[in-house]
Amino acid sequence: MSENTVTIINNATGQQIELPLRNGTEGASVVDISRLYRDLGVLTFDPGFFSTASCHSAITYIDGEKGMLLYRGYPIEQLATHSSYIEVVYLLLYGELPAAEELRRFEAVIGRHTMINEAMRDFLKGFHHDAHPMAMMVGMVGSLSAFYHDSLDIRDPRHREISAHRMIAKMPTIAAACYKHHIGEPIMYPRNHLGYCGNLLRMMYATPCEEYEVNALEEQALNLLFILHADHEQNASASTVRLAGSSQANPFACIASGIASLWGPAHGGANEEVLKMLEEIGDVSNIEKYIAKAKDKDDPFRLMGFGHRVYKNYDPRATIIRDMCYKILEQKADSSNPLFELALRLEEIARKDDYFISKNLYPNVDFYSGIIYRALGIPVNMFTVMFAIARTVGWVAHWMEMMDDPDQRIGRPRQLYDGARLRDYVPLERR
Ligand code: CMC
């Protein structure tokens, strides 16, 4: 028996096999079970992927016990302090921080792709104005494959790169267009002399009849939020993108599937739910009541923005966002913002409560992000759209990594079937 193997014994048959143990550069080792079915005739069962590594990846690493997050090896705290979102985009896509000239060229490339086909504006007009912006995003991003099919040969690395650049560049333009459609204002064209986040703010808030100046702190706050949301390894939406891409679907369709997955309240939709929850709690005097609801097994209510599958410690992104809340609210002369006060108090009370302590439930990235979005004037139903813009690079990086892997195969999970056994069809008149 080798030290680098795990022995599996089927007690029913007495058969036994040794499976290789594989080590990454960081984190838990994995048991390579790919031969298990062939050699032992059994499958593994892990519906929520609690103990399953779905792939190997060199993009992002999380140590959930320590509350550590690395992009390509760099700690999130350092990137949040020193980097720009577009630099982080480059890092996630290409694996290294760009040199000054590489960054300049990359910014220019992204700038060249910010416009969307004019016909997409007509497509957008087909949506009812009160459609949820995430619903429009799923449709609009999916439609990119109808408008940009000149770069859809997924076997061609250059085509893959062009599609990646297009998606990253067009996401703010599409998101702002959805917002303008929702509020009934003219859609604004991008201005490429502005940075990625400044351009987005302008496309959301400017109108053709007035000059608009991007507020430097607001741009900085958005830049920070986008860095923090850029990737988070094999979460539900990244895994959705990988699974969709494994069938060799085009990248725009894959990213649209990622947006759909992100929308759920257990994932990216939580930022919207946190704001709604804080508004519903309304006052510090009601916190205890909501904490009791969250602890009640018979009540479906959960403390939104709390808990995480991987972090069993404070989510490092939440700490950074909480600090930014102070800064941005101070600048807005809103340092006694009642929702922020409520969120802080809610965190304080929950973190002293045995239920949250014993289950390692800490604030996650979504707990404080909405406070900043709200301070930037972004409506609640656009919060998850902001997350989707920032996360696009993560999805794209995972898709590119997968497509580059010569061993890539279609993702095809198996199941534990517990339905009816073989039986004969019963004609209608005998049922
Ligand atoms: N409030 C109250 N109880 C909770 C919460 C919460 N927010 N989160 C987990 N629990 C309890 C849960 O009831 C369970 O208790 P028990 O063991 O007695 O059955 C235990 O903690 C473990 O929870 P789980 O649902 O089995 O854990 P999970 O890893 O499957 O779910 C989660 C993780 C994030 C979906 C969950 O914590 C949750 O629903 N949180 C609220 C939604 C949220 O904030 N989502 C954003 C996640 S971070 C950003 C992102 O992914 O986009």
Centre of ligand 1 to C-alpha 361, Å, is 8
**Which DSSP string corresponds to 117-130?**
-HHHHHHHHTS-TT
Region 415-428 average pLDDT: 98
Say if residues 385 and 175 touch (Cβ distance below 8 Å): yes
- Collapsing DSSP states into helix, strand and coil, what is residue 32? coil
By alpha-carbon position, which residue is closest to atom 29 of ligand 1? 309
By alpha-carbon position, which residue is closest to atom 32 of ligand 1? 308
**% of residues, the chain, pLDDT over 70:** 99
Angle between helices 196-205 and 216-229 (to 10 degrees): 120
Q: What is the pLDDT of residue 156?
A: 94
User: 31 forms bridges with which residues in the sheet?
Assistant: 21
**Which DSSP string corresponds to 375-425?**
HTT--GGGHHHHHHHHHHHHHHHHHHHHHH-TT-----------SPPS---
CA dihedral in degrees (74, 80, 84, 88; nearest 10)?
A: 30
Say if residues 15 and 40 touch (Cβ distance below 8 Å): yes
Dist CA 240 CA 430 (whole Å)? 43
Q: Which atom of ligand 1 is nearest to the CA of 262?
A: 52
Q: Could you identify the residue written with the tokens 């580059």? A: 404
C-alpha dist (Å) from residue 220 to 171, 201, 226, 227, 328:
19, 11, 10, 11, 10
- What is the distance of C-alpha 148 from the center of its chain? 24
Q: Could you identify the residue written with the tokens 């990137």? A: 79
Among 239, 359, 362, 368, name the best residue to mutate to test ligand 1's pocket (greatest count of ligand atoms within 8 A of Cβ).
359
Show the tokens assigned to 15: 């058969």
Helix runs in 148-206, H state only: 157-183, 196-205
Dist CA 322 CA 339 (whole Å)? 13
CA dihedral in degrees (334, 362, 358, 281; nearest 10)?
A: 40
Q: Is the CB of 364 under 6 A from ligand 1?
A: yes
Provide the 10 A C-beta neighbour count for residue 256: 24
Centre of ligand 1 to C-alpha 93, Å, is 30
Residue 320 has pLDDT above 60, yes or no: yes
User: 253 forms bridges with which residues in the sheet?
Assistant: none
Show the tokens assigned to 270: 């939580």
Of the candidates 118, 210, 132, the residue with the CA atom closest to the CA atom of residue 175 = 132
Show the tokens assigned to 348: 């304080």
Q: What is the pLDDT of residue 335?
A: 66
Dist CA 32 CA 41 (whole Å)? 15
Q: Is the CB of 357 under 6 A from ligand 1?
A: no
- The DSSP element (H or E) to which 342 belongs, if any, is helix 338-351
Q: Is 31 exposed, middle or buried (0-12, 13-18, 19+ CB in 10 A)?
A: middle
Region 56-63 average pLDDT: 97
- pLDDT, tens digit, 9 for 90 and up, residues 272-317: 999 999 999 999 999 999 999 999 999 999 999 999 999 999 999 9
Centre of ligand 1 to C-alpha 224, Å, is 25
- Collapsing DSSP states into helix, strand and coil, what is residue 71? strand
Q: Could you identify the residue written with the tokens 């898709």? A: 399
Show the tokens assigned to 399: 């898709």
Q: Is the CB of 307 under 6 A from ligand 1?
A: yes
- What is the distance of C-alpha 340 from the center of its chain? 23
Torsion region of 360: left, alpha or beta (phi above 0 gives left; psi -120 to 50 gives alpha): left
Dist CA 251 CA 153 (whole Å)? 10
Q: What is the pLDDT of residue 2?
A: 60
Angle between helices 236-246 and 383-404 (to 10 degrees): 40
Show the tokens assigned to 34: 């790919």
Measured on CA atoms in the order 248, 252, 253, 256, is the torsion positive or negative?
A: positive
**Model's pTM, two decimal places?**
0.95
- pLDDT, tens digit, 9 for 90 and up, residues 364-375: 999 999 999 998
Widest pairwise Cα distance in the chain: 79
- Collapsing DSSP states into helix, strand and coil, what is residue 232? coil
- pLDDT, tens digit, 9 for 90 and up, residues 365-405: 999 999 999 989 999 999 999 999 999 999 999 999 999 99
- pLDDT, tens digit, 9 for 90 and up, residues 95-114: 999 999 999 999 999 999 99
- pLDDT, tens digit, 9 for 90 and up, residues 328-359: 888 887 667 899 999 999 999 999 999 999 99
Q: Which atom of ligand 1 is nearest to the CA of 235?
A: 51
Centre of ligand 1 to C-alpha 140, Å, is 31
Show the tokens assigned to 247: 């069938």
Q: Is the CB of 238 under 6 A from ligand 1?
A: no
Centre of ligand 1 to C-alpha 362, Å, is 10
